Amino acid sequence: MMTAPERPDPDDETPEATRIAAVAEIDAALGRLRRSMARRSLGRRVLDELGLAIEPAVVEVVDIIAESDVTEPAGVAIGTVAARLDVDPSQASRLVAECVRAGMVERLASQDDGRRSVLKLTPAGRDIIASTQRQKRALLLGHVADWSDDELAGFARSLSRFATLARG
């Protein structure tokens, strides 16, 4: 098994050293992304620019429900939200309650099991998702404005391929 040095030797130009240096650069970039995502920087900026006084975590819940509507048309359970956010069910339940209070999500009795409730987006929830996605994409387009179409398409393909590593 190959072990990579913490800091690649900048004078080593072997193919293996070049790959190690590239992986070290990816690792550093992922660290910056992880810290930014933990702060929810992009989400906060989008919400601020839209003038929405809600927490990014609320939008994440609404987004999870919107994505799950395709795969779970009967409705999404709180357990699904908890799993996708990687939080405990009680925290997911609090976030869902906030979404319900804000009028973005409604709890309905499951058609399969009346004792179980499922979550569905309201029109306001769908509007929030549409407006935040538009704003986020506009911001991202601004960040890559000087990239060529080929660079952007290549990055999109590579990032999507790399994202398959993220399971869950």
Q: What is the pLDDT of residues 106-155, one digit of tens each?
A: 998 877 776 778 999 999 999 999 999 999 999 999 999 999 999 999 99
Within a domain: 23:
no
For the chain, give the mean pLDDT. Answer: 86
Instruction: Please report, for the domain that includes residue 83, its CATH number.
Output: 1.10.10.10
Question: Structure tokens of 8?
Answer: 């690649």
**Is this model's pTM higher than 0.95 or not?**
no
- Expressed as residue numbers, the domain containing 108 is 55-130
Closest CA to 61 of 101, 95, 106: 95
pLDDT digits (tens, 9 = 90+) for 72-98: 777 889 999 999 888 999 999 999 999
Within a domain: 7:
no
Q: What angle do CA 46, 61, 57 make, to 5 degrees?
A: 50
Instruction: Give the three-class secondary structure for 106.
Output: strand
Within a domain: 19:
no
